[in-house]
Amino acid sequence: MRNQPETTDAGRQYAAAYAAHYTERDLPGALRLYVNLIASHPDEQEATFSRSQVQNIVNAVVPKQELFDAQVNLAAAHFAHAGQAT
């Protein structure tokens, strides 16, 4: 019997999200699982990995121009909130 380190909850959640993403090709389900992992374990290494995977999903499903427009609008909203003109 091999002596394996105990898997953490974050590790198990990441494995499930990764399987949904790459094995099952269930992008909506994988996105939900990654987001839940980030919310429940924000400081864990798996959350960092999950953020990258969320970006991969976003880049795969959102048209580039739509993503760019959303980023510009988000920055403009932050400037407006801070009292800066765009």
pLDDT digits (tens, 9 = 90+) for 40-85: 999 999 999 999 999 999 999 999 999 999 999 999 999 998 876 5
Angle value at C-alpha 31, between 75 and 29, nearest 5 degrees: 150
Domain chopping of the chain, boundaries: 9-81
Residue 83 has a pLDDT of 77
Rounded to 5 degrees, φ, ψ at 6 are -65, 135
The mean pLDDT of 8-18, rounded to a whole number, is: 97
SS3 call for 65: helix
Burial grade of 39 (CB within 10 A; 0-12, 13-18, 19 or more): exposed
Q: What is the CA radius of gyration of the chain?
A: 17
pLDDT tens across 19-41, in order?
Answer: 999 999 999 999 999 999 999 99
Residue 1 has a pLDDT of 43
CB 53 within 8 A of CB 18: yes
Residue 82 has a pLDDT of 86
